[in-house]
Amino acid sequence: MTITDETLSAYIDGELPPTEERQVEQQLTADKELAARLAQLKQADDLVRRHARLIDDTPMPASVLAMLQDTRATPTDNVVQMSAWRKSIQTLTDNTQQHLAKAACLVLAVGLAGGYLLGSGSSSSSMQTDIAQTRSGSQAEFLAAISSAASGEPVSLPGNQQLQISFSFEDADARLCRHYQLESPQQKREGVVCRDNNEWLNVAEMTFSADAAGATYQTATSSATSIDQILDSLMVNGPLQPEQEQSQLAR
């Protein structure tokens, strides 16, 4: 067997078939010149690697580090610094719930970057508006879905809208509350609704226009806060497990 530089090179990289590799090893033990050639080629590689590491001694460009350390620049990193309600969501063992919780976080993170939104859900005050008043056309279907759909189940609504409940939870007054996302070709909305005396109240809502450069929003109150802050203030014991949610919805 003639052993070329190409064979030795492939031997260095462990890319030879086992049979050929054994043949090379046998010849290396018998042929000093071949062994010397192998050492030369390996030495070239070692020097190339050492040379590559030289740049480690120069400072990493600050502009690149800034891009990666800016925790508010992208949705995924906003998730990292999310609030207590999000952490509690992560404790859910149900896979579907976990998946949805993540989806919800992304939407919230977009909101954080854009800056928004609205009201408090502390009680049935004027800050809260009846959903039926704020939504036209599909409000009946929307309310029906909010009242019955399990978290994680996508629901198609009239007007080519897709609704998905992200998760449900109880507030301090033991009201059932639900975080949802409603998407149409024109806009995306996320919000929180709470059930009070069999009426669903709009506690927080944010609307993103599909054609707008930034997020637009609707407010139910003049106080500027964010949905995650609202969730933090509302959620008492974290999101409901699927069976707890079903039980609450059935009431």
Partner 1 sequence: MKAELLELLPALRRFAWSLTQSVHDADDLLQATVERLLKKGVPDGVELARWAFTVCRNLWIDEYRSRKIRRNVDVEPEVYEAGQVDGESDVHSQMELERVMAAIKHLPEDQQTVLTMVAIQGLPYQQVADELEIPIGTVMSRLSRARARLASSLQLTN
**Interface contacts to partner 1, rule CB under 8 A:** 4-6, 8-10, 12-13, 15, 35-37, 39-41, 43-45, 47-58, 60-61, 63-65, 67-69, 71, 73-74, 76-77, 80
- Cβ–Cβ < 8 Å for 164, 152: yes
CB 36, min distance to partner 1, A: 4
Closer by beta carbon to partner 1, 23 or else 246? 23
Closer by beta carbon to partner 1, 90 or else 225? 90
Write the DSSP string, 6-20. HHHHHHHTT-S-HHH
Cβ-count burial of 38 within 10 angstroms (0-12 exposed, 13-18 middle, 19+ buried)? Answer: buried
Closer by beta carbon to partner 1, 37 or else 162? 37
Of 118, 125, 132, 123, nearest in space to 199 by CA: 132
CB 114, min distance to partner 1, A: 17
Measured CA to CA, the distance from residue 172 to residue 238 in angstroms comes to: 11
Q: Element (H or E) spanning 65, and its range?
A: helix 62-69
Closer by beta carbon to partner 1, 10 or else 150? 10
- Cβ–Cβ < 8 Å for 8, 20: no
